[in-house]
Structure 1
């Protein structure tokens, strides 16, 4: 009975150690994946920021161009009125 109990305890210890190693391996993989995902998230955030900045600058240039054209039109109209008067 004593040998059987020792064999059972030994078997349980081996199984526990194997599961512990498997858990450590999975924790290591999860940490690597987490670091990889953080890196990807940072890259994506930077890409989004660059695209947003580019779009903002394009829209600003377009609005500036339209504003200048409209201002020139008003200036011409006012000059015409002044000359007419």
Structure 2
């Protein structure tokens, strides 16, 4: 295996991690931003008000996108394990 194939494999792994984290974290960040704007407008400074909606949104994203995330990581590991003989020899 040459350096270009190895670099492409690492780039794909990093992109997969970024995509998985983005799918789970970005909706929570947007909800947190909306709640922060609401708290700033109403001057309600309650910490638990922003925690529960972010938690619920993150859990809903795990439920809805979990199958897609699992499929992507399984496909990557399948390709990785099929390339083991090519990596060794």
TM-score by length of 2: 0.35
Higher relative contact order (CA 8 A, sep 6+): 2
Larger radius of gyration: 1
